[in-house]
Amino acid sequence: MRQLLAIALLALAFSAFGHGGEDHGAPPPALSQSVAPRASAATADFEVVAVLEDRKLLVYVDRFASNEPVAGARVEVDSDVVSAQGLASESSPGTYVIQLAADFPAARHPLTISIETSDNADLLSLVLDTSQPPGTAAPHSHDWSEWAVWLLAAGLLFAGAALLLLRRRRQHRSPRGDQA
């Protein structure tokens, strides 16, 4: 009897072993604000960050060596969405804005940005990715096979317990039946 119980417990213990590399810790905190699509590029002279906000393309330009904003530059952007070369207007030192006629569709868009200052000129190429952000994954769910394993284990446990009870009853009845 004890041997059967030990075998049953050992057989059921295998379903409790770990699997996969899932992290069951606390989920990462949600972003408090949405992150606008952005792209960046750098050369020996300039560093550029392009940010898409609504129907505006913001272009931040600074000097690569000193991180000083580049004021008074002529900034042009060429893209598949900006139909002609878009000349950016300076909103603050180092920040240039292009008003867009249409939204960028969800895709990867190559941008060519030309920068001309009084002492230098450069051409930068970058890619603006407006597709869905990587943090928007499907919610975690369990498929039926995971539940089926647990139901099968529970069924086997109950069947084993029922067989043990029936066997004990037969053993207890047979000596009494012989005495009568």
The per-residue DSSP string of 112-146 comes to EEEEE-SS-EEEEEEEEE-S--TT-PPPP---HHH
Closest CA to 103 of 34, 37, 31: 37
- pTM of model > 0.85: no
| Mean pLDDT over the full length of the chain | 81
**pLDDT value of position 34:** 60
Rounded to a whole number of angstroms, the CA Rg of the chain reads: 34
Q: Which fold has domain 38-129?
A: Immunoglobulin-like (2.60.40)
The pLDDT-based confidence of 88 (bands split at 50, 70, 90) is confident
Cα 39 to chain center, whole Å?
Answer: 19
**pLDDT value of position 155:** 93
Q: Report the alpha-carbon distance of residue 72 to residue 66 in Å, rounded.
A: 17
**pLDDT value of position 123:** 94
pLDDT at 9 over 70: yes
Indicate if the alpha-carbon torsion angle 141, 145, 149, 150 is positive or negative: positive
**pLDDT value of position 119:** 92
Q: Report the alpha-carbon distance of residue 163 to residue 89 in Å, rounded.
A: 84
pLDDT at 84 over 50: no
CB neighbours of residue 112 within 10 Å: 15
The pLDDT-based confidence of 66 (bands split at 50, 70, 90) is very high
**pLDDT value of position 33:** 58
- Over residues 20-36, mean pLDDT: 70
Q: What would the pLDDT profile of 115-172 be if each residue is shown by its tens digit?
A: 999 999 999 999 988 886 555 555 666 677 777 888 899 999 999 999 999 988 888 7
**pLDDT value of position 44:** 93
Closest CA to 61 of 117, 128, 129, 127: 117
Task: Identify the residue with better confidence: 123 or 18.
Answer: 123
